[in-house]
A = this chain, B = another copy of it.
């Protein structure tokens, strides 16, 4: 059988959020994106630890923004999804899709 390195549920959300946001993806907007789209509350810590772990696994790449940010705070850390991250997402999606096939009617379409 194939790869079998599944990623977790929240990890998927974080990867997808970064893709949605594009160039300007860093912690704060990632959190906001997930909250807005899924309507469920997300703590800041959850986002940052997950970002860290995804980077360790090579699914994300990160770099620090300008060392002297205009507005405030620590330098932003930006993220980009690596190829392996895309693959992982596709695999998760494909697995779920196979499992769902035919059930939409049973459960009432939505």
Contact = CB atoms under 8 A, between A and B. Distances in A.
Contact of A6 (B9, B19, B94, B110): B9
Given A13-B99, A34-B99, A40 B3 contact: yes
Contacts of A12: 9, 96, 99
Interface stretch (A56-64, A69-77, A101-109): A101-109
Interface in A62-101: 86, 89-90, 92-96, 98-101
Given A16-B100, A17-B99, A37-B99, 20 more contacts: A1-B39, A2-B39, A2-B40, A4-B40, A6-B9, A6-B40, A7-B9, A8-B8, A8-B9, A9-B9, A9-B12, A13-B95, A19-B103, A20-B99, A34-B99, A38-B94, A38-B98, A89-B107, A90-B107, A90-B110
